[in-house]
Amino acid sequence: MPSETVDHAITPGPLTGAASDPTYAGALSFMRRKYTKDLSGADVAVLGIPFDAAVSNRPGARFGPQAIRRASAIMDNDPQYPFSADLFDTLAVIDHGDVLLDYGNHAATPGAIEAAARAVIDKGVFLLALGGDHFVTWPLLMAHAARHGPLALVQFDAHQDTWFDDGQRIDHGSFVGRAVRDGVIDPDKSIQIGIRTHAPEDCGIEILHGHQVEEMGAVEIAEAIYERVGGGKAYITFDIDCLDPAFAPGTGTPVAGGPSSAKMLATLMHLKNLQMVGADVVEVAPAYDHADITAIAGAAVAMHYLGLLAARKAGR
């Protein structure tokens, strides 16, 4: 039974510590973290990016941040599995709200997202972004590369996202090729996991195809990621359609033959030594979901990122 007031997300108090809200009530920030625009004292800021005008199939990922926050309510006040600890004992995480975007001026979208991201990153706060379609990763990569230089991209996805790009497109299927050509990511240190479609070019990025992932264990997948990335700074982007539609039906472009949520979460667990400098979860589209299956998977991916950061901070 809760021993404190509901609405931990908006109740004054420290940024650390578990919430006590019932899972079925209270303000729905990500994992009940404090809603605030103040970055003071924060290790991590969770930022929603409600944008889906770049999709090539089914729209609806603009509602992804809301759905992920709602699904995360079940993870807020027990020791988080499989980390066997309250992640917020020492890790100060805030919910920074959403990026404000003009739905009638998509040309301004990349700049608005990049500016919002840089406002967090430039304060030395880790940015965990909730999309939104996969185009939002482009301005996020721009913001991180401005601080860290060219990044290793670790991309969990059914699609390579290397289709034609003229440098101006607002397109969730071409941003990776643009990032390679513009020197934002280093293809020689980048890897894509779970690919189950063909694209015209691989841009020099290593690919673990869906059928290969099916035959590999989580440790083996993680080892392939480490071997590719080396000791470089890495950005992890997790398109929820990396998962088989059985585990993530609520997405814009589902592709059969993908891995389970269990296998991919186990893979993330083995990436604790990766030099992760930023991360996102994208393409959760709740209108096509059933019983929050996809939103729960997206929230679990985001929670695993926090688990890796908490372990890093605790020196585990």
Q: Read off the CATH number of the domain in which 28 is found.
A: 3.40.800.10
Query: Does 207 have pLDDT greater than 60?
Result: yes
What percent of the chain has pLDDT above 70? 98
Query: Does 62 have pLDDT greater than 80?
Result: yes
Q: Which of 198-202, 210-214, 215-219 has the lowest mean pLDDT?
A: 198-202
Q: What is the mean pLDDT of the chain?
A: 95
Which pLDDT band holds residue 316 (cuts at 50, 70, 90)?
A: low
102 is in an annotated binding site: no
In a domain, 279, yes or no: yes
Q: Which of 27-41, 66-80, 270-284, 287-301 has the lowest mean pLDDT?
A: 66-80
CA–CA separation, 35 vs 146, rounded Å?
27
SS3 content of the chain, % helix, strand, coil (to 5): 35, 15, 45
Higher pLDDT, 97 or 315: 97
pLDDT one-digit tens code per residue, 230-265: 999 999 999 999 999 999 999 999 999 999 999 999
Domain limits for position 35: 8-314
Within 13 Å of residue 237, how many CA atoms lie on the same side as its CB? 32
161 is in an annotated binding site: yes
241 is in an annotated binding site: yes
157 is in an annotated binding site: yes
> For the range 167-170, what are the long-range contacts, defined as Cβ-Cβ under 8 Å and sequence gap of 24 or more?
170/53, 170/54, 170/106, 170/107, 170/109, 170/110, 170/135
In a domain, 3, yes or no: no
- Identify the pLDDT of residue 96: 98
In a domain, 82, yes or no: yes
In a domain, 50, yes or no: yes
122 is in an annotated binding site: no
pLDDT one-digit tens code per residue, 126-157: 999 999 999 999 999 999 999 999 999 999 99
In a domain, 264, yes or no: yes
- Identify the pLDDT of residue 12: 84
Section 51-65 average pLDDT = 96
172 is in an annotated binding site: no
Identity of residue 266: A
How many domains is the chain partitioned into structurally? 1
Q: pTM value?
A: 0.96
- Identify the pLDDT of residue 300: 98
Query: Does 212 have pLDDT greater than 90?
Result: yes
- Identify the pLDDT of residue 3: 53
| Nearest partner of 236 among 305, 150, 177, judged by Cα | 305
